[in-house]
């Protein structure tokens, strides 16, 4: 069998990454490949599409802990990818120092996210407009999106078959956000009892998701429970067949 070890934004940005890579190699005998944000987005898109039927074009987003990847695909192939410096862990650490979060801090976080997304609006909007006849859809992956789907369906345990390929409307997302953003972390557990560790980062993640939907004019998101890991596995599998 073949083992592939991939590192993303945490090691891309770590000041001591060379030291970490050396110690990891000594401890495991494995080489770690640090991939760029663009390569992360490309691999993620491969995984996200597994088990999902979409039209010819789609905008895809992977809202992660250290970054958010946006991918425009045509005929199931990435045409434009961009890695945004918007990670839910970083945003939660910076703007959610109070429990429940202060309204002014949520406002600051909202503006931060809007400014970052604003830097890449034009190229993606042009592609969406140019392909308007193809009815571009929006697909999202990672913990924020799957957690919101679970909350909307009132699930008490993680059920892949109910979450993967489900849909969330922008109204549903706004309604959930209005509830979870004004209460304490302890109170949020009642909405999502099986993964309480996600309940702080879901607030910034939901703002990112809403901003993407609003910015590009989408009314709903198709939820994928697959992403980078599955994309890496798919590429490894294909390489063994060539």
Question: pLDDT tens, 104-115?
Answer: 999 999 999 999
Q: Kindly report the CA angle at 64 between 207 and 147, in degrees rounded to 5? A: 65
Angstrom CA distances, 110 to 56, 113, 203, 212, stand at 32, 5, 11, 12
231 close to 48: Cβ distance less than 8 angstroms: yes
Question: Model-level pTM?
Answer: 0.87
Mean pLDDT of 41-48: 86
Q: Kindly report the CA angle at 84 between 82 and 86, in degrees rounded to 5? A: 155
- The tokens for 199 are 């309940």
How much is the pLDDT for 1?
65
| Fold topology of 36-240 | Nucleotidyltransferase; domain 5 (3.30.420)
Query: How far is it, in rounded angstroms, from Cα 211 to Cα 209?
Result: 5
Mean pLDDT of 5-12: 88
Q: Which of 44, 63, 11 is nearest to 204 (CA)?
A: 63
Angstrom CA distances, 177 to 52, 64, 151, stand at 26, 18, 11
Question: pLDDT tens, 128-146?
Answer: 988 777 688 999 998 899 9
Domain with CATH 3.30.420.150 in the chain: 36-240
47 close to 230: Cβ distance less than 8 angstroms: yes
Instruction: Give yes or no for residue 91 having a pLDDT over 90.
Output: yes
- Length, in residues, of the chain: 242
């Amino acid at each position: 069998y073949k083992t592939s070890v991939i590192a993303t934004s945490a090691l891309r940005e770590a000041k001591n990454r060379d030291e970490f890579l050396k110690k990891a190699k000594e401890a495991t005998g494995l080489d770690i490949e640090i991939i760029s944000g663009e390569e992360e987005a490309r691999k993620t898109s491969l995984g996200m599409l597994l088990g999902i039927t979409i039209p010819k074009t789609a905008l895809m987003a992977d809202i992660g802990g250290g970054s958010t990847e946006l991918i425009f695909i045509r005929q199931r192939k990435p045409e434009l990818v961009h890695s945004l410096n918007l990670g839910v862990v970083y945003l939660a650490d910076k703007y959610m120092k109070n429990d429940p979060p202060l309204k002014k801090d949520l406002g600051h976080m909202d503006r931060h996210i809007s400014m970052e997304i604003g830097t890449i609006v034009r190229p993606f909007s042009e592609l969406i407009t140019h392909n308007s006849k193809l009815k571009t859809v929006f697909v999202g992956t990672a913990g924020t999106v799957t957690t919101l789907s679970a909350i909307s369906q009132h699930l008490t345990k993680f059920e892949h078959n109910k979450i993967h390929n489900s849909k969330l409307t922008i109204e549903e997302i706004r309604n959930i956000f209005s509830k979870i953003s004004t209460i304490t972390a302890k109170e949020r557990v009642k909405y999502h009892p099986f993964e309480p560790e996600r309940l702080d980062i879901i607030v910034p993640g939901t703002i990112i998701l809403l901003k993407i939907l609003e910015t590009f004019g989408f009314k709903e998101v198709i939820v994928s429970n697959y992403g980078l890991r599955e994309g890496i596995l798919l590429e490894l599998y294909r390489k063994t067949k060539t």
